[in-house]
Structure 1
Amino acid sequence: MSYSIKRTRYKQFFRIMKITTLLLFVFIFCLRAEHSSSQNVNVTIKRSNTELEKVLNDIEKQTDYLFIYNDYVNVNRKVSVNLKKAPLKEVLVNLFEGTDVKYSIDDSYILLSAGGTRTTIPLTTQQGKTISGVVTDSNGEPIIGANVVGKGSKSIGTVTDVDGKFTLALDNSSTTLVVSYIGYLTKEVPVDNQSVLKVILSEDTQNLEEVVVIGYGSVKKSDLTGAVGSIQVDKVQGISVKSVDQMLQGRTSGLYMVQNSGMPGASSTVRIRGGNSISGGNEPLYIIDGMPVYPSASASQTALSPLNSIPTSDIESIEVLKDASSTAIYGSRGANGVIIVTTKKGKSGKTSVAFDAYWGIQNIYKKYDLLDSHSFEQLANEALVNSGGTAIYDESINPATTDWQGMTSNDNALTQNYQVTISGGNDKTTFLTSLNYFDQEGVIKATEMKKYAFRANIDHKISSTIHLGLSLTMTKVDNNRVGNSVLQSRLTTPPNIPVKKEDGSYTFSDDNGVITFDNPIAIINEKVDWNANFRTLNNAFVEWDIIKGLKFKSSIGIDIDYTTNKYYNPRTVYSGSQKGGEAKKTSNNTYTWINENILTYNNTWGVHSFTGLIGYTQQASTYDGFNAGSYGFLNDNLQMNNLGSGTTYSAPGSSVTKWALNSYLARVNYILNNKYLLTASIRADGSSRFGKNNRWGYFPSAALAWRASEEPFIKSLNIFSNLKPRLSFGITGNQDGIGTYPSYALLGSTGYVSDGQKVTGYYPSQVANTNLKWETTSQFDAGIDFGFFNNRLTVTLDGYYKKTKDLLLKVKIPGSSGFSSGLKNIGEVENKGFELAINATPVEGAFTWNTSLNLTYNKNKVLDLGDVSFIYPDQPGQDDTGTHLGRIVQVGQPLGTFYGYVYDGLFSTTDDIESSSQPTAKPGDIRYKDISGPDGVPDGIINDLDRTIIGCAQPKIFGGFNNTFSYKNFDLNINTIFTIGNDVYNGTRVVMENMQGSTNMFTTTMDRWSSSNQNAAYPRPLRSKAVMRVSDEYVENGSYLRFQNITLGYNVPAEFLSFTKYVSGLRIYASLQNFFTITSYSGDNPEVSKYGQDNLGAGYDAFSYPFSKSVLFGLNVKF
């Protein structure tokens, strides 16, 4: 039976929960309490002949209130005031007595309006109407303090309150409202016959400087010198993306993402500007709210991406750092790029509540056409006869067909997501908390993922110079899984075999006892494979403004990751019956802490602008793993809950590993005359992983940019709203994917028998290499940013060249060392290419169209492998069998290259065989091309020397094309992704077209060779041996265009919500996900990576978990 997710007691889990909750409440209660009523707030002010604006600032500093006023309030008026510990209302009366300014206090805001800008007109006025409404941004967030005036009149106007709402009385001369706010485009709204309006303001992209988060800071986008891609998170969050890593796909140039599997919670492969390493890690570094995080310690294919610990609705921004000038500040972890995720924080103002939910169903994208029982038995008989045997099935009988594929499919699998977010605060303290529940059933029965997440962000200003912050994230993920045996046997199990025997037990073989198999229904119903992960990310900081422009920030972060697995293969499953039931338990725990201390200084002197930082960071991590198992149980009652009841014990295992990293870093940003920009950085990393001779690595970078659009001779052209060429160069490193102690001499343990006694001994398991050092990547980037038509059209072009040297590879070493191989720095790989990103708003108004296109061309090549020109990653003997991936790493070729034979059709006659290189073949067998021999020319023999390059998994071009259309309250999002030039090795076809007759096959195999069908597509059935090798016959074009998401949404008008004072916004939507894919690939999904993030195993498909398509319905409610 499948293992249900229950309330399991974890002592460590509750200990962490208690400590985290205690820290949260201690932090909250240490904060200054919410502001009290205005009657209890006292203010001391002594000012003489001072501008009113400065006095208002004094009041804001001493209280929790913020002033909101429009242009009609004269804040330049000179005032004099001398009050000591006076009530706030007394101060306000003193300031505005005798003027036309009126004030009102609403929560933590004080709204000022001049007497000439009436907020209402008496209702007895017969010649006018009262208009009410709400003003929001494009995300539906209320805009506080927006100016709302009648067009052509300065005497009729108001400002929006803390909910973005307004009420305004118009006379007959005003038929249009003019709504404006700093940073947004002014909008004119015809009143017509409406009495309730919803006004959405768009950001002024020309005048509003977009801020981009970079390593250890942020910069205005116009001041950016490096290649940084920003994900438009607000565009993605309205389309019910199931995980954060899926928000990245097709959204920025240079980033290639593959969803490794359709299994719920499965990890993804992410590459930024190509793969750099052969045996090391190629995944980017992830930074969440300033804290580096790593994947969960799980060996399963559902290993959690570090991004999946955060609900998608909690993301504020995502930046992708691509060039070395952007990533070198992260030193030895920056070679593969950096992805920076910033989560949402609370904003001062009235406490708001948001509820987000969606529901949907999933189904397998493509089901295969398989042989029925009669056709299967016909082919099986032919295979036996062709192999010298005797037919075993009576073909005159038409037996029942068991639909194993359909019976294991979970049709209309449910997906549901719920999140509640509460945020608010004042000018001293802001907070945001969220609670999320996500449940996704898999499209294969007995697979499911449930995720529970809690997050809190709290910021508090102790004083005008000291700022505290705390970020907490806790995530619990439970997975029910099935192994590869189900994914394969659901297709290969013979259709003429029933699920159960007459006695009710599961069948493991056919009636003749010739074919044995793992019954997939038995596995689904009886086997237990349950994985649980608990992760908490905690980060606290203190920031001190020492003097003007000089700031110090110190933070400490803790990442605790617990992963457990419970496994039981019962006696009722064929593989379990061979051991009398088998039980296992594993635990993988990782504890990581980091402390960062950064000193930043920025200042401006005339035409000179300078920002510099220096810092010191230290990080350490401990991994603790354990596994135990037993088999030979009397029954299946206890499953894995009592390992001691097994009669035979598997050798238990445990390990503890530790690593540490100390770093020093510095960066300067200099701008001259607001046109000429320079960025330079350096980082020194000291790692415990490397030998004492190369423990420290140094990673510098520099970048230049010229804001040419600020030059008078460019401005005079009236063509560019932005023109900025960029150049950068830098060096980064890589220390991932090589283990914790790669440079040390290690001992292994083993058991042996001495004098009849079992003795444990130790032996050298790894040779030391004190000269082992980082893989280093040098990168040059040249780019240019264009802006046209007030930035309604922007274009970014980048060309880059990356070269990685000192690759960490296992190579042959002298036998005198006692080892056959060892890890050394040998080899070089390069990546070069270009990127294009286009963003445009072709139409803007009542109907608006936003479009974006990004594409990347990347060429990867191995430059050097030391003393050899190629490496076979597969073990000897595996390369010429069709069930294994033929792979090669060869100088001059890209990583992910397929290596095998060239298919040359079928032998039709004996004459064909006599003149061929396969003299032992028979008519109907596969013919392969004779390509080479010992002397480099064809030798009439088909052997290993006839293998050649037959394809490559890496795409030549990839990208995304995204469009958003909006008309009044409707919006339509269409998101597409594409690849061009990549190949997929279809290992599923290798098995499903093997023509052996012992497993089920595709219906297309009925077109097999026979004396009466010599032009057949498939060879003659043959039972005695595999008839297929790794060849280009199974390498298919994996290029595709996928409509990843189509979402239609509707924002309910404010007047429809006026019946309740609690709901301020409501959006409903429907989505189709992965419904349409245009491809020539014959499998269910060309976007596949059976071997996960392995650079050399990319593009391999062999009974992968099925890809799914979804229909979703959702809503967003704001209170």
Structure 2
Amino acid sequence: MKKRIFSTLLTLCVLLAFSTGAQEKKRVITGTIAAQNGEKLAGASLLEKGTGNAAKSDSAGNYKISVSDANGTLIVSYVGYKTTEISIGGRSEIEILMDIISSSVQEVVVVGYGTQQRKDITGSIASISAATIKNQPAVSVDQLIQGRAAGVDVSQASGAPGGRLNIRIRGASSLNAGNEPLFVIDDVPVYNNSKDPSGTSYGTFTPTNALASLNPNDIESIQVLKDASATAIYGSRGSNGVIIITTKRGSGNKMTVDYNGYYGVQTVANKLDLMDGQQHAEYLNDWARTRNLPAPFADPAAIGKGTDWQDELFRSAAIQNHQVSLSSAKGNLKYFVSGNYFNQDGIVINSNLKRYSFRVNADARLSEKVKFSQSLSFSRTINKSVPTSGAGSGNVRSVGEKIYATSPTVPVFDENGEYVDYWYNAAKAESPVASLMTIKNKLQGDNFLGNVSLEYKPLENLTFKSLLGVNLINRNNQEYYPKATTYIGGLLNGLGMIGERKVTNVLNENTVRYTKVFREKHNLEVLGGFSWQKEQDFSTTTEPSGFADDRLGVNSIGSATGSTIINSSANEWAMASFLGRVNYQYNDKYLLTASFRADGSSKFGAANKWGYFPSVAAGYRLSEEPFMKDLKFLSDLKIRGSYGLTGNQEIGSYQSLATLTTSNTYIFDNKLVPAARHTRLANGELKWEKTAQWDIGLDLAFFDNRLRLTADYYKKDTRDLLFTVDLPAYSGYSSALYNTGGLQNKGFEANIGGDIFTGDFTWTADLNFARNKAEVTSLGRATSTTLFVGYPPGNYLGYVYEGVFHNQAEIDAQTAQTNVKPGDARYRDVNQDGFLNADDRIVMGNSLPEFIYGFNSSFGYKNFSLTVFLQGAAGADRVENTGLTDPSDSGNKSVKLQDRWSDKNTQSNIPRAGYSNVLTSTYQLMSASYLKVRNVQLSYTFPSSLLPKLAGSSVYVSGQNLLTSTDYIGYDPDGGGDYPTATTLMFGVNLKF
């Protein structure tokens, strides 16, 4: 009996143990799978390691998997993301975050109105990730693009804080309309033209960068759309390329707090090599002798070095940035909230830019079928500026002009401690220091940019989306030029200006998207939609003069006794659009994209309000062919081609309409009566500039994507160019705007990148190169003195400089030039007719570079990383007149003129002091080719073992614009105008909580 009871109990224990084990093997794990940015990943695969237990995530990223071992391991994989192994550790709920394979052909790329995997792209698109531009002290996003995308030429229009940059994608597509690309910021199209009110009528104001209101630290990715297949979905605004900017969104399964801050010091990157006090005194003595005037300086050596006005006007300037952000993607709500403070002192005295910005990006899944999203940002910029482009009259001089125009023989202060504001033979003189320090020029801008959208997914493959976007801009500009310290202020007894501008841009887009996979090999996506956008723009300026007291300035314009100029303007435009796109993929091998957009714009003539912009592209992934599978070293090989039409509407409003002016008068009954007259003919036929572009591209990847190559050859033909055509006088009009002429751009671009070393020591390198050739193919009815058929735009027209006349015998031996003396410039009689005139001018150079390039190299060892970024351009020319040819002015000169012709230096080929026959020629032409060390950065990331609560935090030191190799004698061959660019050294920290 006892044996039977024992046997029964033993059997029950065995069964119970077996049952318990069986229950453990059936343990269920649930959770969600998402990318690091919080985006839920549908269709991700899960596998319990060492078993056949598997599952996939649903459309919301949720998963449920039964596992055999509560302490086993899950293997999670998803196309375009790193395969991840997760230890179960007895948990029943696990949130899984996956890292994107940024260098892989599987990378997800943002395209117009959607996303695609890199391997499925048929157009030409360059990507710039947040990691690439991290910790760069940039005021605006366009500074971050320079040198990082093949075929994108970025030049500095001004080095001032908030100064504009010029961006050309595959060359300029227009000669008279806008050439800037279209920016799409979180689905809202923005054209980068300045929305600032104008300055005084004396040319005192240089427009700032409209993109300076966008905080670069908020950016997640930048996509540059270059060919017609990629840009035609934006139709009438796609000819100049499209840059899509996506800001950061919520990520992580808990709230994280990030602090990003840096502090740096800026100094002028390059000083001009100008004469010192003694050298300039000797030059002015020579100059006076040529005019039979007494020498102004009895003892030039006594002056010594004199005043270095560059040292007086430039300074070491601080730059700092502080940002705090909160981010989370837990549950059905994900959000990214950031606040930013940016403060940059300019390297020129009395210049500064401050920016305060705030952003809230949120995504809420209201149900399985409904999703709400918003991207809202507000920024305030306060720009304290100095003139950076002089007026034509020279009554207001820019910073660069002040430096050239002021003699180093003059001290800053006189013996009474007062600013010196006059020197030998000076015209329109003023103290550069006093004028810049007392000019009041303050531009304040408020910018609200954002959108809200609602997605409805009634079926698994069907999504409806409606979006409302707004861009609200409010600008206020105040300027005052004191009568005591500025030439223009003294001339007008004080000059002031108050300007205001308000811009309201509203966008509504409605799209429907259908996706379907047929028989596992046919992948189809169809997009259709309707878009409507309207902008209203109002500005007003008041320009008084004749102030009783400089101290009050524009705070008391009612006290101004001089003339007051009052202007106002209002304009608006609207656009309605229909768009559609089809993406088809067969067997992951054959790719087809076709798109169409119809745009109706108020800017064009009654007969041509609508424009139609189709495109088609195809791709063939040879690497998916069976005969290529044996090439283990080959990861991807794709050939693609595209063709399409895009347009350009950036011509301003009302250009197709007749205009009137009321500034005229006529005599009626012996009295002057206000009159109105036509100033422009109506042109109901005015239409879009259209650009037809074809592109052939190749995408290659080797050794598991460790080596990557992308190459494109393209050709763009723009027709129906918008030209102002001269009209015969008997018509009663001087000119009218017509569609006429053509322009062509063609070129080659390539990008090669590689993960050369991996492991503890890493080395990643990326090189891009682009060559573009532009040519005017037709002028049609237009005439021009600088544009020539068969030549590119941007020409320099001038004479061929052949040195100087060294003696009277050389003058007597020729007849082309008369009234010249030894030491005067000698120019070539090109047509050999015995006369020197306009017919002897040639196209002597061009401002466009022949090719541009960029090289980025990143080294890493454990927690240390070093990044070096180089950027350059070759083949461009510049004409540098100032400092080389200004014989009637007392301003300073380049040290090159130390070797000028004189009675003691008759073999020199540099003209004498005060030579009279100054012509634009190859004498002033110089190469603007350059190579720059744009950025060097050393950083250290703290490991979790050292700072457990701050894992992933880092510190870094960085140098910007450290070195420029060039033969150009101006401030910067890359531009910068009359406000030089800066070299910046800085220290920064990223803290993660």
Structure 1 pair 1017/452, CA: closer, same or farther in 2 (3 Å)?
A: farther
Query: C-alpha displacement at 1:145, in angstroms?
Result: 8.4
State how many pairs are aligned: 930
Supply the AA of the counterpart residue of 2:266. Q
Q: Using the alignment, how far apart are the partners of 2:157 and 2:453 within structure 1?
A: 36
Identity %: 36
CA distance in 2, matches of 1:53, 1:723: 42
2:434 corresponds, among 513, 522, 535, to 522
Aligned counterpart, 2:156: 259
Deviation at 1:183, TM superposition (A): 5.8
- Within 2, Cα distance between the matches of 1:958 and 1:727? 23
Q: 1:658 to 1:703 in 2, by over 3 A?
A: same
Is residue 2:349 matched to residue 1:445? yes
- 2:801 aligns with one of 886, 894, 903: 903
The match for 2:400 is: 487
Q: Determine whether 1:960 maps to 2:854.
A: yes
What residue number does 1:595 align with?
A: 508
Q: Distance in 2 between matches of 1:1081 and 1:785?
A: 37
The amino acid of 2:764's aligned partner reads: N
Shift of 1:161: 8.1
- Structure 1 spans left out of the alignment, 5+ residues: 1-49, 59-63, 79-91, 102-113, 120-134, 136-140, 150-155, 163-180, 185-201, 873-887, 933-937, 1091-1103
Q: Is 1:925 paired with 2:824?
A: yes
Q: Which residue of 887, 890, 894 corresponds with 2:788?
A: 890
Q: Relative to 1, partners in 2 of residues 1:635 and 1:403: Cα closer, same or farther, differing over 3 Å?
A: same
Deviations 1:833-888 (A, max 9, x none): 111111111111110111111101110000000146x612xxxxxxxxxxxxxxx1
Q: Quote the residue 2:20 is aligned against.
A: none
- Aligned letter for 2:530? Y
Partner of 2:580: 666
Is 1:1105 matched up with 2:992?
Answer: no
Q: Distance in 1 between matches of 2:73 and 2:808?
A: 101
Aligned pair 1:971/2:848, yes or no?
A: no
**Which among 24, 48, 52 is matched to residue 71 of structure 1?**
48
- Secondary structure of 1:604's aligned partner: strand
Aligned equivalents of 1:493, 1:689: Cα separation in 2: 47
For 2:984, the aligned partner's letter is S
Please report the TM-score for the alignment, with normalisation by the length of structure 1: 0.79
Counterpart selection for 1:247 from 121, 144, 164: 144
Per the TM alignment, residue 703 of structure 1 is displaced from its structure 2 partner at its CA by 0.5
Letter matched to residue 1043 of structure 1: V
Could you give the per-residue CA deviations for residues 362-411 of structure 1, whole angstroms, max 9, x where no partner exists?
Answer: 11112223333333232222212212333333237724765252443343
The aligned counterpart of 1:827 is: 741
Query: Are positions 1:1115 and 2:992 aligned together?
Result: no
After superposition, where does 1:506-905 map in structure 2 within 5 Å? 506-510=419-423, 515-573=427-485, 574-606=487-519, 607-736=521-650, 738-750=651-663, 752=665, 759-867=673-781, 871-872=784-785, 888-905=786-803
What's the C-alpha RMSD, in Å, of the aligned pairs?
3.1
Q: Which runs of 5 or more residues in structure 2 are unaligned?
A: 1-24, 34-38, 56-62, 200-204, 390-396
Could you tell me which residue of structure 2 aligns to residue 389 of structure 1?
A: 293
Q: Mark the CA change 1:445 to 1:275 in structure 2 (over 3 Å): closer, same or farther.
A: same
After TM superposition, give the deviation of residue 1066 of structure 1 in Å: 1.8
Aligned pairs (5 A) from 1:17-56: none
Q: 1:947 aligns with which of 823, 835, 841?
A: 841
> Structure 2: how far apart are the matches of 1:667 and 1:827?
31
Q: Does 1:1038 align with 2:935?
A: no
Q: Per-residue displacement from partner, 1:146-196 (whole Å, max 9, x unpaired)? A: 5259xxxxxx9999987xxxxxxxxxxxxxxxxxx8866xxxxxxxxxxxx
Aligned residue in 1 for 2:58? none
Match of 2:132 in 1: 235
Alignment partner of 1:274 out of 152, 158, 171: 171
Paired amino acid for 1:567: E
Alpha-carbon distance between aligned partners in 2 of 1:788 and 1:56, rounded to the nearest angstrom: 36
1:1070/1:1113 contact within 8 Å kept: yes
Q: Indicate the residue corresponding to 1:1079 in structure 2.
A: 966
Q: Is the 8 A contact 1:528 1:567 kept in 2?
A: yes
Tell whether the 8 Å contact from 1:995 to 1:1005 is kept in structure 2 after alignment. Answer: no
Instruction: After superposing the two structures, state which structure 1 stretch, 334-343 or 231-240, moved more.
Output: 231-240
Conserved 8 A contact 1:147-1:158: no
Q: Which moved more, 1:476-485 or 1:515-524?
A: 515-524
Aligned-partner SS, 1:262: coil
Aligned to 2:911, the other structure's residue is in SS state coil
- Structure 1 residue identity aligned to 2:458: I
Alignment of 1:71-90 (within 5 A): 71=48
1:107 is matched with which residue? Answer: none
Map of 2:118 onto structure 1 = 221
CA distance in 2, matches of 1:814, 1:753: 24
User: d(CA) in 2 for partners of 1:951 and 1:118?
Assistant: 67
Distance (whole Å) between structure 2 residues aligned to residue 514 and residue 1055 of structure 1? 69
Query: 2:86 — aligned with what?
Result: 147
Structure 2 vs 1, CA of residues 850 and 1015 (structure 1 numbering), >3 Å: closer, same or farther?
Answer: same
Residues 1056, 756 of structure 1: alpha-carbon distance in 2 compared, 3 angstrom cutoff: farther
Does the Cα contact within 8 Å between 2:226 and 2:242 map onto a contact in 1?
A: yes
The 1-side partners of 2:542 and 2:673 are apart by 20
Q: What residue identity is the alignment partner of 1:71?
A: E
Distance in 2 (CA, whole Å) between partners of 1:970 and 1:1002 is 45
Residue-by-residue CA offset, 1:255-281 (whole Å, 9 max, x unaligned): 111121211111111111111111011
Aligned residue for 1:375, secondary structure, equals: helix
- 2:9 is matched with none
2:7 maps to what in 1?
none
**Paired letter, 1:683:** R
Number of the residue aligned with 1:353: 257
Give the 3-state SS of the residue equivalent to 2:608 in structure 1.
coil
C-alpha spacing 1:401/1:640, structure 2 compared with 1 (3 Å) = farther
Q: Given residue 512 of structure 2, which amino acid in structure 1 is its aligned partner?
A: L
Query: Match of 1:403, as an amino acid?
Result: T
CA distance 1:404–1:563, shift in 2 (3 Å): farther
1:303–1:514 distance in 2 versus 1, CA, 3 Å: closer
Structure 1 residue aligned with 2:184? 287
TM-score for both structures, normalised by structure 2 = 0.89
Alpha carbons of 1:51 and 1:303: their partners in 2 closer, same or farther (altered >3 Å)?
Answer: farther
State yes or no: 1:477 paired with 2:381.
yes
- AA matched with 1:147: I
Q: 1:719 to 1:445 in 2, by over 3 A?
A: same
Q: Does structure 2 conserve the Cα–Cα contact (< 8 Å) formed by 1:633 and 1:646?
A: yes
Kept in 2, the 8 Å contact 1:226–1:703? The answer is yes
Letter in 2 for 1:896: G
Amino acid at match of 1:953: S
Matches of 1:546 and 1:816, distance apart in 2: 66
**Contact kept in structure 2, 1:263 and 1:302, CA below 8 Å:** no
The answer to whether the Cα contact below 8 Å between 1:909 and 1:923 also exists between their aligned partners in 2 is yes
**How far 1:1047 sits from its partner (Å)?**
0.4
Is the alpha carbon distance of 1:159 and 1:950 closer, same or farther for their aligned partners in structure 2, counting shifts above 3 Å? farther
- Counterpart pick for 2:912 among 1020, 1033, 1050: 1020
User: What is the rounded CA distance, in whole Å, between the counterparts of 1:517 and 1:1038 in structure 2?
Assistant: 31
Q: 5 Å matches for 1:168-179?
A: none
In the alignment, does 2:246 pair up with 1:372? no
